[in-house]
Amino acid sequence: MALAYNMKIIPSSESKQRIWSNTVDQRWCSNLENAKFIDGHDLFTYFLPRYIDRNKKALLDDVILNKKYIPSKKQILISRFIPKPLPDYYTYEQHVDSTKSYEFLPNVFDYKPIGGSHTIEWYMNFANHDIFAYYHSSLLAQDELQVLECPQLASLREFLLKQNRSTDNGDQPFDSHVIEGNSPYPILIGNVERALELNTTNLYGHKFSTSSESTVLSSYTYLDSRQIVNLIAIEAPKYGSGSYTHKQIEYILQACFTAYCAARALADTIYNLKTDQLPRTPLKTYVHTGWFGCGAYGGDRTIMIILQILAAKMAGIDKLIFHTVTNDCDREIKNAKSCLENLLHRSQNQVSMNELIKRLIDKGFQWGASNGT
């Protein structure tokens, strides 16, 4: 790719070595499969977004032509991780560790940091199995919204589509799928610029494509001061029915656990990309999440809260922030907290992973229905 387009891309082997050299605890990056550092300006220049939807195209044109959007030359990191085996045991010490916390906020992602300067914050991308595959379409769900607000992500998708035809330097191609052989392969993307903020009150889902161009253009705010965003892309199981199975629960736990461990592994590297320095003190890792797999895929809200909290505790995430969109989910939150409180008792030092999953199965969590978005 570098020869064909004169793009500044650090090859996979060199990129992985750079990450390993930045990481204090090598355990966290042992399952790093692929990585590339890409010049963010070159990426957008050589791989412009290719929107099919007229409103998305009009918005991008307005951002480029009228707002004079030009991305910086800061590097973007894209990385893919092989599945990390779940621990054999979940311990009582992990379960009650007061240094690791979670909270619920009745809003959507606004990408404003809530931690200090030595905190790396990640945001979930509730991905299709092939990342950003429908970014150009008329739909505006969570995945498509993130791409629309961060134009470099659309360019990244175009790069991934064309890399096999264009790479002539023998570098390892980057696989854009977050599932392989029914196993999770999280993709983490760091140091991306968020260039605009779209008010989706009357535009979310299928409403976007039926709205007028003037409505769309009047609904966004251009961010002169770009926000820097780090994303975790994993896909939830979808369209299940009846009770959750052992296989489904295990998959969700492993997907989240692998992704959260990867977020910790990349913390020092992301800090370096943002500040051009290496941290002098240990970094904290926060993950912002939401109703993972509970919209179009029909997942149960309560169990998805529980599983994300358990995975975060296993991975040592310092804080998990649930953005619940509205404040009408007290029942699901209360039920999730109650289940967690009774899952492991002080008299038990640890419980096997199989037993932990069995206890969740015994709760009888049921699949819901897709909301169509």
Q: Is residue 175 part of a domain?
A: yes
Look-up: residue for tokens 């489904």? 248
Task: Check if the beta carbon of residue 349 is closer than 8 Å to that of residue 91.
Answer: yes
Q: Is residue 367 part of a domain?
A: no
pLDDT for the residue numbered 168: 45
pLDDT higher than 90, residue 111: yes
Task: Report the distance separating Cα 263 and Cα 79, nearest Å.
Answer: 10
Q: Is residue 28 part of a domain?
A: yes
Task: Report the distance separating Cα 130 and Cα 255, nearest Å.
Answer: 15
Domain count, the chain: 1
Q: Is residue 239 part of a domain?
A: yes
Q: Which domain holds residue 58?
A: 2-361
pLDDT for the residue numbered 3: 39
Classify the phi-psi angles of 7: left when phi > 0, otherwise alpha if psi is within -120 to 50, otherwise beta: beta
pLDDT band, very low/low/confident/very high, at 1 (cuts 50, 70, 90):
very low
CATH of the domain at 236: 3.40.220.10
- pTM tops 0.75: yes
Task: Report the distance separating Cα 370 and Cα 238, nearest Å.
Answer: 9
Q: Is residue 215 part of a domain?
A: yes
Q: Is residue 372 part of a domain?
A: no
Q: Is residue 148 part of a domain?
A: yes
Please state, in angstroms and as integers, the Cα–Cα distance from residue 346 to each residue in 96, 269, 308, following that order.
9, 38, 22
Could you tell me the two tokens for 130?
Answer: 């092939």
Q: What is the pLDDT of residues 226-251, one digit of tens each?
A: 999 999 999 998 888 999 999 999 99
Residue range 150-163: mean pLDDT, rounded: 96
Could you tell me the two tokens for 326?
Answer: 């509205």
Burial 3-16 (b: 16+ CB within 10 A, else e): eebebebbbbeebb
Q: Is residue 309 part of a domain?
A: yes
